[in-house]
Amino acid sequence: MTKTLLDVDKKGNPLFHAAKTSRPKYHEFPIEQTFPSQEDMACEAQLSALGTWEPLSFKINGWEEDKVFLKNYWVPFQPRKDQFNDRESILVYGVKDSKPNDPCGLSQLARIYGYKPTESSMNYPTAAKDLLTCMNEVFDFFDFGRTFLVRLNTGGHYPPHRDHILLNRPTIRLIAFLGDSVSSLRWEVEDRMVQFQPNTLYYVDTRKTHRLWSSHHHSTMLVCNIIKDWENTMKILHKLKYQG
Ligand SMILES: [Fe+2]
């Protein structure tokens, strides 16, 4: 018997499971793949000086209207075999010719391409980008790599993980909380609960171990990967909500 969210999605389509990943042997990688450049070190030191969870001063208005036009694009986010985890996503920036309802988990994409594409190479907007008008000011301000909407439904979660571990990570993570999920969505970074405001964008240091889960349906975020370079780093400084 097929089971919803284990074998098939809510519409009865077979789930596209993520590829199994093995633990990277960083110590065996060629040094060019792991050693940070001068720009990497400058960006990482400057970003570390900011903190791990910093609100930015963008105005995000209109999600309630935008979500009506996006409602048919939601697909399961990176389902894994034999694990119940009710998460859904819409791809906003992906590889060339991507569609909003394409898979957007890197381990799912590894099954399609045979390798994990880099987040910085996924810099082509899908049709969802122009429908997400509440983020226009942000889209116009930074250079974007892989970016997606994700919503956690009741019980949906991300277990403890890091998004990046190497100092030469190609992208920086920004997360926007769309609508009001304050009472249902819980976020922890390094085992400490962090606070967020509705319709607010945060710089998040996702090199640090983090986890999240939702007790209700539709806790929605836009997960942005912007290109890590000195210009984008300076732009984050300019937009910090709490200045000197
Ligand atoms: Fe993460």
What domains are there in the chain, each with its CATH number?
52-239 (2.60.120.330)
pLDDT (average), residues 210-233:
98
Amino acid 108: pLDDT: 83
pLDDT bin (cut points 50, 70, 90) of residue 112 is confident
Amino acid 15: pLDDT: 85
pLDDT tens track for 56-103: 999 999 999 999 999 999 999 988 888 889 999 999 999 999 999 999
Amino acid 48: pLDDT: 97
105 alpha carbon to ligand 1 midpoint, in Å? Answer: 11
86 alpha carbon to ligand 1 midpoint, in Å? Answer: 16
Whole-number average pLDDT of the chain: 94
35 alpha carbon to ligand 1 midpoint, in Å? Answer: 22
161 alpha carbon to ligand 1 midpoint, in Å? Answer: 6
Alpha-helical runs (H) found in the chain: 31-34, 38-50, 63-70, 106-113, 127-131, 136-141, 230-239
232 alpha carbon to ligand 1 midpoint, in Å? Answer: 20
Neighbours of 16 (CB within 10 A): 16
**pTM (two decimals):** 0.94
179 alpha carbon to ligand 1 midpoint, in Å? Answer: 20
1 alpha carbon to ligand 1 midpoint, in Å? Answer: 33
231 alpha carbon to ligand 1 midpoint, in Å? Answer: 23
Calculate what percentage of the chain has a pLDDT beyond 70: 100
pLDDT tens track for 134-169: 999 999 999 999 999 999 999 999 999 999 999 999
- Average the pLDDT over each of 18-22, 38-42, 182-186 and give the range with the smallest value: 18-22
Whether the predicted pLDDT of 238 surpasses 80: yes
Contact 90, 125 (CB under 8 A): no
207 alpha carbon to ligand 1 midpoint, in Å? Answer: 9
4 alpha carbon to ligand 1 midpoint, in Å? Answer: 25
Please identify which residue in the block is written with the tokens 């974007």: 144
244 alpha carbon to ligand 1 midpoint, in Å? Answer: 29
209 alpha carbon to ligand 1 midpoint, in Å? Answer: 8
Closest CA to 78 of 69, 87, 65, 70: 87
Q: Which helix (H) or strand (E) holds 79?
A: none
213 alpha carbon to ligand 1 midpoint, in Å? Answer: 12
Residues 6+ apart with CB under 8 A from 70: 90, 100, 128, 131, 132, 149
Integer CA distances (angstroms), 18 to 15, 75, 99, 136, in order? 9, 14, 18, 31
Structure tokens at 75: 């697909």
110 alpha carbon to ligand 1 midpoint, in Å? Answer: 17
210 alpha carbon to ligand 1 midpoint, in Å? Answer: 7
Whether the predicted pLDDT of 54 surpasses 90: yes
Whether the predicted pLDDT of 225 surpasses 80: yes
pLDDT (average), residues 207-227:
97
Amino acid 94: pLDDT: 95
Contact 156, 221 (CB under 8 A): no
- CA atoms of 63 and 90, how far apart (whole Å): 14
pLDDT (average), residues 111-116:
83
109-140 per-residue burial string, b: 16 or more CB within 10 A, e: under 16: bbeeeeeebebbebbebbebbebbebbeebbe
Closest CA to 135 of 121, 149, 122: 149
Contact 52, 190 (CB under 8 A): yes
Whether the predicted pLDDT of 208 surpasses 90: yes
Whether the predicted pLDDT of 12 surpasses 90: no
Amino acid 166: pLDDT: 96
Structure tokens at 76: 């399961």
Amino acid 13: pLDDT: 87
Structure tokens at 89: 């996503």
163 alpha carbon to ligand 1 midpoint, in Å? Answer: 5
Residue type for position 162? R
208 alpha carbon to ligand 1 midpoint, in Å? Answer: 9
Amino acid 125: pLDDT: 98
